[in-house]
């Protein structure tokens, strides 16, 4: 098994790929959170061949890169770690799994309590700090206070661009009960990974929710049972596509469910060892257009 696009093992002979599911951050997107033109061309070629290309991501629809949504023939997306399946053609939610009522507010207030207990000041870059966003019907919402001092966050420019663009900022997010009751997902970003680990440990005691991570230092919360693999498999069944006809690309723990749901699972060269071991193949890194490298060699 190779670690670069030109040395991966070939998928099983005789299997026609009908659906390609591709993660975004750390997979299709490079280190600058942009999509290499080579990747876009490869995905467009697959679409032109009649293959379903399904973005499968922790992101919500509102923060998708324009290069991706501009693909001709894109029909479906698995978003928010599987909490929402979007139908582009019908411009509607095909399926949606929301958090239990009151859960998003409880999570945000837990984090506020943890931060207050640690003496953190949200207006400064010192002490316990967290950036929270809530996904509601495919749109991202955050508290306007999160922008205070964000230019100095150690999370870097990629995070700043992500968090400040295409978000809906409200005053007093914790108090937006109607909005929070409709939430599908809560994302928490911690500049200090120890803070994130502590909050994650608390949240993992709640059987009504599922915890995952797609990038270092974040905690992603959906309803229990929600994950990319389950949503992808439900979509594939509706399309009459079998496991052996599914090809997936991923780089992090929230992609492992997709690996189990697919006949061919490809880890990125930048993926951690656990993810690489779970995949049948390893391609180039996200900075090497590893998705395109695999597709060009074996699919398109």
| CATH at 207 | 3.30.1240.10
Q: What is the pLDDT of residue 114?
A: 72
176 and 132, same structural domain? yes
Q: What is the pLDDT of residue 213?
A: 83
pLDDT digits (tens, 9 = 90+) for 242-251: 999 999 999 9
Last residue within a domain, chosen from 184, 208, 223: 223
Last residue within a domain, chosen from 201, 223, 245: 223
> Over 60: is that where the pLDDT of 169 sits?
yes
Q: What is the pLDDT of residue 113?
A: 79
Average the pLDDT over each of 209-218, 260-269, 278-287 and give the range with the smallest value: 209-218
Q: What is the pLDDT of residue 116?
A: 62
Overall number of domains in the chain: 2
pLDDT digits (tens, 9 = 90+) for 205-217: 999 999 998 777 7
Structure tokens at 189: 């970003």
For residue 273, what is the domain's CATH number?
A: 3.40.50.1000
> Over 70: is that where the pLDDT of 14 sits?
no
Question: What Rg value do the Cα atoms of the chain yield, rounded?
Answer: 19
Sign of CA dihedral 78, 82, 85, 86: negative
Range of the domain at 73: 19-96+227-298
217 and 119, same structural domain? yes
pLDDT digits (tens, 9 = 90+) for 115-163: 665 554 444 444 578 999 999 999 999 999 999 999 999 999 999 999 9
In a domain, 14, yes or no: no
In a domain, 8, yes or no: no
238 and 159, same structural domain? no
Task: Work out the pLDDT band at 201, boundaries 50, 70, 90.
Answer: very high
In a domain, 209, yes or no: yes
In a domain, 238, yes or no: yes
pLDDT digits (tens, 9 = 90+) for 26-42: 999 999 999 999 999 99
232 and 219, same structural domain? no
Residue 274 is classified by DSSP as H
The phi and psi torsions of 282 (rounded to 5 degrees) equal -130, 130
207 and 269, same structural domain? no
121 and 213, same structural domain? yes
Q: What is the pLDDT of residue 142?
A: 97
Structure tokens at 162: 């992500």
Structure tokens at 1: 């098994």
Q: What is the pLDDT of residue 13?
A: 60
> Over 80: is that where the pLDDT of 17 sits?
yes
Q: Are 213 and 242 in contact (CB under 8 A)?
A: no
pLDDT digits (tens, 9 = 90+) for 50-65: 999 999 999 999 999 9
CA separation for the pair 155, 191 (Å, rounded): 6
CA separation for the pair 129, 199 (Å, rounded): 12
In a domain, 234, yes or no: yes
In a domain, 11, yes or no: no
Last residue within a domain, chosen from 199, 223, 247: 223
CA separation for the pair 91, 99 (Å, rounded): 22
118 and 48, same structural domain? no
In a domain, 3, yes or no: no
In a domain, 259, yes or no: yes
CA separation for the pair 226, 54 (Å, rounded): 17
212 and 109, same structural domain? yes
81 and 131, same structural domain? no
């Amino acid at each position: 098994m190779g670690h670069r696009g030109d040395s991966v093992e070939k998928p099983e002979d005789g299997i026609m790929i009908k659906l390609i599911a591709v993660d975004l951050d750390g997979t299709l997107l490079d280190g600058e959170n942009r999509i290499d033109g080579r990747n876009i061309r490869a995905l467009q070629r697959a679409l032109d061949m009649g293959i379903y290309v399904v973005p499968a991501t922790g992101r919500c629809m509102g923060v998708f890169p324009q290069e991706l949504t501009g693909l001709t023939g894109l029909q479906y997306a698995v978003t928010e770690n599987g909490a929402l399946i979007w139908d582009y053609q019908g411009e509607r939610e095909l399926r949606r799994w929301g958090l239990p009522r009151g859960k998003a507010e409880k999570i945000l207030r837990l984090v506020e309590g943890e931060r207050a207990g640690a003496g953190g000041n949200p207006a400064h870059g010192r002490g316990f700090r967290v950036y929270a966003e809530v996904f509601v019907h495919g749109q991202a919402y955050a508290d306007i206070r999160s922008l205070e001092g964000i230019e100095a966050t150690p999370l870097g420019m990629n995070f700043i661009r992500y968090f400040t663009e295409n978000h809906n900022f409200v005053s007093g997010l914790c108090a937006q009960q109607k909005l929070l009751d409709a939430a599908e997902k809560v994302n928490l970003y911690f500049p200090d990974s120890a803070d994130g680990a502590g909050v994650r440990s608390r949240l993992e005691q709640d059987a009504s929710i599922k915890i995952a991570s797609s990038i270092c230092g974040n905690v992603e919360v959906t309803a229990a049972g929600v994950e990319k693999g389950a949503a992808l498999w439900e979509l594939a069944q509706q399309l009459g596509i079998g496991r052996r006809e599914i090809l997936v690309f991923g780089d992090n723990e929230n992609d492992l469910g997709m690996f189990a749901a697919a006949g061919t699972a490809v880890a990125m060269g930048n993926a951690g060892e656990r993810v690489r071991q779970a995949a049948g193949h390893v391609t180039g890194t996200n900075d090497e257009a590893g998705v395109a490298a695999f597709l060009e060699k074996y699919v398109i």
